[in-house]
Amino acid sequence: MKRSPKDLEESNRVIGRRALVMGGLFLGTSAVLAARMRYLQVERADDFRLLAEENRINIRLLPPERGLIFDRNGVLLAGNEQNYRITLVREDTDDVDAVLAELARIVNLDIARLERARAEIMRRPPFVPVTVADRLSWAELSSVAVNAPALPGVNPEVGLSRVYPLGADFSHVVGYVGPVSDYYIEQTGDTDPVLQIPDFQVGRYNVEARMESELRGRAGTKRVEVNAAGREMRELDRDAAVAGSDVQLTIDAGLQNYVEARLTGESAGAVVMDCADGEILALASAPTFDPNHFVRGISQTQWTALNEDPYRPLANKATQGLYPPGSTYKMIVALAALEAGVFSPEDEINCIGHTELGDRRFHCWQRQGHGRVDLIEAISQSCDVYFYDLAQRVGIEAISAMALRLGCGLRHDLPLSGIAQGLAPTMQWKRRNRGEDWVVGDTLNASIGQGFVLASPLQLAVMTARLATGRIIEPRVVRSVDGVPRSTGTPADLGIPAEHLDLIHRAMWRVNNDRRGTAFGSRVMNEAYLVAGKTGTSQVRNITTAEREAGVIANEDLPWERRDHALYVGYAPFEAPRYAVSVVVEHGGGGAAVAAPIARDILLRAQIGDVPPLELYPVSQRRDIEEMHRRLPILAEPPMPSGRASGPRQAGSDRT
């Protein structure tokens, strides 16, 4: 059908509009493409010229700076130091052996070290940098940098390595870091890419390990342009790493140093707690070791010496060591009996040196007996027979319940490795673990802290702090993280009647301050600093009937590993308890002779804030005390080494 002129005119008008729209779109697109081509060919010409020469962009991780660890007064316990090292990336070099040989020519490197590095290079993925040498001098690092064109794949780097300025004093609190191993990744399941950074260090022991997430920080990244030989041409951009959090501990470096020094020559553990809030002021285990050796790579000789030492320096005796608490357990038995109402504190028992149970005798440490004693005298003179009688009246279930209430037989929650739980045994425990029924003899043994009963120095310190205050004191070792305090609030009441605790306090005062008290030799000659406590001696072997008949061999005449453990727990000052202490000396002999003097000195140091003056000691002891302090490796003033900061961020200073 023939279209009318009017339709043709309308059709031409529509086609014209469409043509204009299409033409506009074409011109706009052409303009955008022209602008983009100009940008790529003119403004980015240099960039693409480099890429055309087989350059490529690499993304590299930036290790975060590990958080610092300080004591309660801002003394640096764990810091970071610069470490010059050389790394090699296998995929950036055609001949690993040739590069290593050239590197050995430039820098004097140990052959064995190079062989280990080569094995690690071949074992790792080709894109992962592997450290060939570390702890180089600036001159050595500069030599490598100057010869970089002849060393494809080799990168001189400046990193950070952990350092412990106070060395051995804090190995059993702060712990140490070590390189990431396949075993570590397998055990922890940690998939953080930062672990692939050469020689990246992670916490392996104590606070360093238990607070790894806070201390590690977060890795950064940088984009770098490298040429075909793997040489870095320039850095394009960077996302900075986030440093780990600074951690402030409750430990007092000066007191910790004194306690470690006072334990010199012993195999021992000691804990000092603040009775007000449970802050641990010192936690020592002797002998100790230098954690810097583990950071820098411990030698086989050093490792063997540590492992074969009979005093076990690697073990943290303060938290991991479990010992029969001996007579330090008698306050628990007394409180259980008082609560049960099975006796009156004024009731006297006649100690003739032993108690007979069936055809067996349970002996008192005083072979001729103590005569008639009441509760206070039984504790102050440590009469075993009194507590044999008391335990039979109250029973093991009540004794163990009181032990748990006072913090024994519990695993206290601290950021330390391998905290032992201890044991406050019950009838059910023996049936479940030994397949035997509980017998009365087990109760008698438990009444003097022997038999199945086990406690650590940490638990004994907690027990003492709770006895001194009547409150549920919980131990803590972290004071703040990045300046934010970690407080536990006001401790709750133990629920033990004040009159019962008063009896225990008076008895513990007499231990140190009455002439017949077992620790009278460790008294203090100033009422403002008086110590109250309890001695303990725990057997590590049974004395046979034949030995008793022939005359028991003196403890010091036995081989060291068969001697008794020496224990002491105490608090000071007596009128207003502030510090609680526990000391356990492995195979040290008598608690009164060995552990009590150490604990007395520690409590005086905590109260005075310095080496105790001689006038606080009995006159007859002052010359020996002066000589002892002269020989101890005590720091005159804890150093303040440099770190990222001179003290915890936003953390104040608090002298104890």
Question: How does 411-422 read in b/e, with b if 16+ C-beta sit within 10 Å?
Answer: ebebbbbebbeb
Active site residue 327: yes
Q: Which two tokens stand for residue 173?
A: 């609190």
Q: Which two tokens stand for residue 528?
A: 């403002």
| Alpha-carbon distance values, 61 to 154, 239, 279, 499, 579 (Å) | 16, 9, 39, 64, 47
State how far the Cα of 474 lies from the Cα of 467, in Å rounded to an integer: 13
Q: Tell me the residue length of the chain.
A: 656
Strand order in the sheet with 579-585: 280-286, 268-274, 579-585, 565-572, 532-538
State how far the Cα of 343 lies from the Cα of 348, in Å rounded to an integer: 10
State how far the Cα of 258 lies from the Cα of 601, in Å rounded to an integer: 9
| Alpha-carbon distance values, 500 to 338, 341, 494, 603, 619 (Å) | 7, 11, 12, 25, 35
Q: Helices 330-340 and 457-469 sit at what angle, rounded to 10 degrees?
A: 40
Give the 3-state secondary structure percentages of the chain, helix then strand then coil, rounded to 5.
Answer: 40, 20, 40
Q: Which of 386, 366, 385, 384 is closest to 375 using CA atoms? A: 386
Rounded to 5 degrees, φ, ψ at 21 are -65, -50
State how far the Cα of 335 lies from the Cα of 502, in Å rounded to an integer: 11
- Cβ pair 260, 635 in contact under 8 A: no
State how far the Cα of 169 lies from the Cα of 254, in Å rounded to an integer: 10
State how far the Cα of 351 lies from the Cα of 364, in Å rounded to an integer: 8
Rounded to 5 degrees, φ, ψ at 282 are -155, 140
Q: Which two tokens stand for residue 656?
A: 């104890």
- Cβ pair 87, 55 in contact under 8 A: no
| Alpha-carbon distance values, 299 to 305, 306, 408 (Å) | 10, 11, 39
Q: Is 490 helix (H, G, I), strand (E, B) or coil?
A: coil
From the list 171, 267, 327, 447, the catalytic residue is: 327
Q: Is 591 helix (H, G, I), strand (E, B) or coil?
A: helix
Q: What is the DSSP track for 407-425? A: TTT-----SSTT----B--
User: CB atoms < 10 A from the CB of 506, how many?
Assistant: 17
- Positions marked active-site: 327
